[in-house]
């Protein structure tokens, strides 16, 4: 499960400190798949078109940029903004590969395939 949570850099370091203390006390540290976001970014990721893209990518191992444009009926500028946002938080990877006879094409690889994503906001 990927946990996307609002918080500050201090919250992140507090969580890391708890994990370090578990290790120091000889406990087996539980892997945490938490992505910390500022509250504004957490609200931005919850926009309907972004959550639709996240859901779309969830069950893919890779998908071509042009396919996303076509299947989700998005404009290139809108899709680029959404992909840049997901890339910022390491939810996806974007690679470029040769497209024989047609130049280069973008390949989007979700880094959370088949995982449950939980959004948490603590105010």
pLDDT of res. 80: 96
pLDDT of res. 16: 76
How many domains, the chain?
Answer: 1
- Residue 45 vs residues 18, 38, 76, 116, 118: alpha-carbon distances, Å: 27, 11, 18, 15, 12
Model pLDDT for residues 3-12, shown as the tens digit of each residue: 777 777 777 7
We report the CATH number of the domain holding residue 13 as: 1.10.10.10
Backbone φ, ψ for residue 8 (5° rounding)? -105, 180
Model pLDDT for residues 30-76, shown as the tens digit of each residue: 666 777 788 888 888 889 999 999 999 998 999 999 999 999 999 99
Q: How far apart are CA 46 and CA 12, in angstroms?
A: 21
pLDDT of res. 81: 95
106: containing domain? 2-120
């Amino acid at each position: 499960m990927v946990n996307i949570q609002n918080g500050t850099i201090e919250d992140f370091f507090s969580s890391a400190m708890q994990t370090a203390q578990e290790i120091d006390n000889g406990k087996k540290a539980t892997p945490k798949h938490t992505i910390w976001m500022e509250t504004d970014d957490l609200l931005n990721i919850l926009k309907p078109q972004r959550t639709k893209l996240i859901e779309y990518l969830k069950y893919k191992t890779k998908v071509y940029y042009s396919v996303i444009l076509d299947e989700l009926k998005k404009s290139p500028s809108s899709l680029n903004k959404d992909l840049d946002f997901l890339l910022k938080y390491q939810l996806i990877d974007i690679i470029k590969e040769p497209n024989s006879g047609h130049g280069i094409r973008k390949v989007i690889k979700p880094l959370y395939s088949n995982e449950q994503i939980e959004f948490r906001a603590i105010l």
